[in-house]
Structure 1
Amino acid sequence: MTWPGARVVITGATSGIGVAVANRFREAGASLVLTGRRPEEPDGCRDADVYLAGDLADEGFVASLIARAVEEFGEIDALVLCHGLQGDGALEEMPLQRAAALLEANVLTVFSVVQRAIPHIREGGGSIVCVSSRFGLVGTPGQVMYSAAKGGLAMFARGAAIELAARGIRVNVAAPGLTLTPRIAEGFGRKPDPAAYTATRAASIPLGRLAEPAEIAEPVFFLASPAASYITGAVLPIDGGFTAA
C-alpha cells in the first residue's frame, strides 16, 4: 500500500523499530519529520526528510518539534510515537528514580507530544499510533514497572481515542513482541552461548521466532493509514502469539 503525500511525524526514529517504521512510510511516499536522541541524522534519510535531535522530556524541544512539522506540512496526517525506555528490575529492588524514568519516557513524553500536536493533526482523517509492548498486556516478573508504563500508554491511547473521535482523529496502539533489532541482537551476542540463548527466547513465542523490525513496521503503518479508517482505540499485539498463549 502507498500513501503518497502523507505528512507524518515519527519519534524514536533513530533505532530499531522506529527506523523500520520510517522506512515503511518512505516506501509509501510520505513526507517525514523525524526525531530521536542521537545527534547524527539516521541512516537512510532522504533529502526531503527533516530530522531534529532532542529529548522529548524537554517541553521546549517538543514545542520546537511540532512547530517545525507545522512549518513543513501545515498540518499532520499521522503522528507515530516509537520512542520509549526499557528497564528490567525486580519490584523490591528498583529505585524510585528508575521507576519514575520509565513512566516519564513511556507515558509522560507521549502525553506531551500528543497534547502539543493535537491542534495540528488533520481532523476527519488524521491518526496517532503509539508503539507499546507485549509487556503492556501481561504481567511479567522483572518487568513490573516497564509493564506498568507500557500498559499505561495503552490506556492513555484508548482514552485519547474516545476524546478525539468527534474530531475524526483516530488513536491506536501497536504492541510488538520480541523483535530482532540491532540492540537486541547485540545483547544476545554478549551471552555465553548466543545461539542457545536465542533459541530459548524464540521457543517462548508460539510462532517459534523473533520478529523482524519490518514485520512490526507494516502493521504500524496500517494503523496510521486510511486503510484503518474505522479502527480507533485498538491495541494490536504483534507478538507471534505470545500474549494469546
Structure 2
Amino acid sequence: MEAPTILVVEDDRAVRQGIVDALTFSGYQVLSAGDGEEGLKLALQANYQLMLLDLVMPKKDGFEVLTELQRQRPGQAVIILSAKGEEDDRVKGLKLGADDYVVKPFGPRELLARVNAVLRRSTERPAAVAEWDFSEGVADFSRCEIRYPDGERCELSERERDLLRYFVSNAGRVVSRDEILRRIWGLEPHAVETRAIDMHIVGLRKKLRSPQSLVTVRGQGYMLGGGAA
C-alpha cells in the first residue's frame, strides 16, 4: 500500500525542512510550499491526504488558505501549526474545518502522533459528494441546485447545500442537532439557541419534494429517509 502524502505549508524554511525530514524519515511522501499563495495553489491541485498549515505567512495567511480549501475541497484533513496558541485562534481554526491544532514549538514525536491520529480518522470520513440521485431528481452540489425529471430546477443556498451534502455523506445514521451546529454552522451547541436547523430542514423537504426525505428521529436528530433513491 502506498504511503500517504502530506502537504506542508510553512514559511519558515528551517521549520519547514525539519517537518519534511521528520515525515520523510517516518515513511510519508511529502510536498511543501513556502507561502500561503503557493500553498493554496498546490493544495487545490495536488493529490494528498493531509495538510500541515502554518497560520502566519506572507501573501495569504493560514485562515485564508483554510477557508478557500474547505470551500473547494470540503472535508480535506488539515492540522494547523502555529506559534499563536490563543484560544480564539484555535477555535477559529477548528470552526473553519481544521482537524487539529499544534502549537509551536513542538517535537517530532508529538507531531507524528497527531499526524497518525488525523490520518486514521480521515480514512473513516465519508468523501465529499458531488451529486446525489434521489427518488425525485438529482441534487448537484457543485452547482447548488436540484434538477427534477420534468426539467425544472431549484436553487439551493450554500447552507442548504452543505447541510444536504452532510446528510448524504452520512447516510444510514442519525445526525444530531449538536453535530449539525458544530460541523455545518461552526457553533458550539451550549452557546447558542437557534431554530435555524428546523427552518432549513423544512425548506429542504420542500425542495426534495418529499416530507420523508429527511426524517426526524425524536430526541436524537435527523437522518436521510424515504426520499432517498
What range is the shorter-chain TM-score in? 0.3 to 0.5
Relative contact order (alpha carbons < 8 A, sep ≥ 6): 1 or 2 greater? 1
Q: Report the TM-score when normalising by structure 2.
A: 0.42
TM-score, normalising length: structure 1? 0.39
Q: Which is richer in helix?
A: 1
Higher strand share: 2
